[in-house]
Amino acid sequence: MSELAIRTENLVKHYGNTKAVDGLTMSVPRGSIYGFLGRNGAGKTTTIKSLLGLARANGGEASVLGYDIQREHLQVLQHTGFVSENKALFDNLTGDEMVRFNRGYFPTWSDKHVERYRKLFETPMDVPFGKLSLGNKTKVCLLLAMSQGAELLILDEPTSGLDPVAIDILMEVLIDDHVSEGRTVFMSSHQLAHVQKIVEWVGIIDHGRILLEARLEDVRQNYRVITAAGIETAARLSRPEIVGRRHSAKFWRYLVSRDSESVASELRQRGMAVSDVSPCGLEDVFLGVVRKEEDHAGVEVVA
């Protein structure tokens, strides 16, 4: 059995001249919660669609749970629960009817989980799906995906429309019912605050490429933001540890993946005035990587 729940190698997906996914290489360990982060249009949803056969990759390789996404498409779907970005099911069917429809596809389906999630999320199961609010649509989609007993959950923006209580319950359920049983959760989201509560791994994607893939704990321990002032020629320091660099009116901000003191020291030697070296959260890392001024660096794998 593959140690990776998802593996992509130079995955490419073009729509005409637009490169939606451009050589994406990613590794999602089994049994982890992986946060797949990126701006709008970064390629998150296209990547997910490619993994599930909703879009056909133009190049590269990918496997889900050890199954090749092209040749073993049905096995991938058999073992994967999916919540789509648009939260669209059949508008005329109620939640209960959707359960009735969905149940037969999955031998590992659990009606006990249906009942549990219905109560936990207070999901209206007797109203046609098309008449539900976005939040309730999301709850029905989550209930269906999480009741499959799938080895892998792929959740595209799973918190859309959910209130803070429902989001909190979702985070608990993902850990208690899924990760604790060795299942994998792969979630794409803009909500960094929610993601960093539970994810173990993060992958940051922009312009169809992974800019950073690391264990969140490593990010917290090793990543630093260095703030310095000085002339541009001195500021343009290039070292592999520097993951991102931004320039505001007076200051340069460097996102450094390790050896921050060494980098700070070199900046000082180049005449820069280093004012701060501080630990950073996921949001700092995300902004530091995605908003950096230079072209994107290659894949940065910390762990």
Residues of this chain that bind another protein (CB under 8 A)? 49, 52-56, 74-75, 77-78, 80, 82, 84, 86, 88-93, 97, 100-102, 104-106
Token pair listed for 164: 């803070």
Backbone angles phi, psi at 116, to 5 degrees: -60, -45
Minimum distance from residue 101 beta carbon to another protein (Å): 5
Residue type, 145: A
Complex with another protein: residue 104 or 164, whichever CB lies closer: 104
Q: Which is nearer to another protein, 139 or 253 (CB)?
A: 139
Report the residue number, 79 or 292, with the smaller CB distance to another protein. Answer: 79
Q: How many residues does the chain have?
A: 303
Nearer to another protein, 101 or 271 (CB): 101
Closest distance to another protein from the beta carbon of 32 (Å): 22
Q: How far apart are CA 286 and CA 282, in angstroms?
A: 6
The CB-side HSE value for 293 (13 A sphere, CA atoms) comes to 12
Sign (positive or negative) of CA dihedral 231, 236, 242, 247: positive
- Shortest spacing between CB 48 and another protein, in angstroms: 10
Q: Which is nearer to another protein, 92 or 269 (CB)?
A: 92
Give the Cα separation of 131 and 262 in Å (integer): 58
Question: Which H or E element spans position 275?
Answer: strand 273-279
Task: Kindly state the smallest distance separating residue 191's Cβ from another protein, in Å.
Answer: 21
Pairing of strands 59-64, 67-68: antiparallel
User: Minimum Å distance from CB 54 to another protein?
Assistant: 4
